[in-house]
Amino acid sequence: MQLGLIGLGKMGGNMAERLRRGGHEVVGYDRAPGKRDVDSLEALIGALSAPRVVWVMVPAGEPTRATVKELAGLLEPGDVIVDGGNSRYTDDQVHDVMCREKGIGYVDAGVSGGVWGLENGYALMVGGTKDDVAKVQPVFDALKPPSPTDEAGQAVPGAGFVHAGPVGAGHFSKMVHNGIEYALMQAYGEGYELLAAVDLIEDVPGVVKSWTQGTVIRSWLLDLLVRALDEDPALERIRGYAEDSGEGRWTVEQAIENSVPMPTIAASLFARFSSRQDDSPTMKAVAALRNQFGGHAVRGIQAEEVERPA
């Protein structure tokens, strides 16, 4: 299948590579000249055969809004736009109305996998009509992780991909996913801080590593905390400062709007606000985890930013 991909950064570039490895043709555009295959959105559209599928992988907010608006003026009826960033679901609904007026399909795709998705695959939460999702399905199939198998060796359906509902459902699902992620990282960070605070524990990284097998709290995030501690056992090179990228706030706002109690996720969001005032060991662990799974920049002890290579 042929795909236009806009945004070839840490995730977009890896997604393009995974798709190419899967036998798909990707025409990529990025503002950075060294990464792109074409020099403009017009050239991108011209390089694709109708009906076209164009995947937008740029920062949420105004960059995505401007890109979708420009694409809607360039594409033709029957084409499909996919927003694979972390847009707010209400933006998707506005974009869908604008695109429908022109006969252009719109799909929102919540994507999880960070810098590890190239090798491991990406979990995908998708919103849109059945027809539009079907047009993009070969791309989704190539991006998602291999299906796990049950005891009989049969593939487990649904793992790593879901058509969650109409437009907006994909990014709403990813928003909740990221809210849960906030809470999980906060819990691991608090546990790390208590271990580090007492003289009784002589091998804090070893304790954390021991939890990765046979326990009910084992997870990929825990594996990444072990990795971070292997690289920096006392997290001395990282400030306890963690950004929030928006989804945690939106999740709490939706909890309030729908009268859903969400004390744990709310507390983890507020803890990130606190991290900007105190150099907390808990937030050092949270910052290290964000760096490990997503390549997000962290603040070093000299205030410079440090990124994991994509």
9, 141, 228, 239, 261 from 221: Cα distances, Å: 23, 24, 10, 19, 24
Whole-angstrom distance, CA of residue 83 vs CA of residue 10: 16
Catalytic residue list:
174, 181
DSSP 3-state of 123: strand
The whole-angstrom separation of Cα 93 and Cα 303 is: 39
Termini Cα distance of the chain = 25
Place of tokens 């983890």: 268
DSSP string of 147-192, one letter each residue: PPB-TTS-B-TTTTEEEEESTTHHHHHHHHHHHHHHHHHHHHHHHH
Q: Report d(CA 56, CA 5) in Å as an integer.
A: 6
Residue type, 217: I
List C-alpha distances in Å: 14 to 11, 42, 51, 114: 5, 23, 24, 9
Contacts of residue 154, Cβ cutoff 8 Å, sequence gap at least 6? none
Q: Are 44 and 19 in contact (CB under 8 A)?
A: no
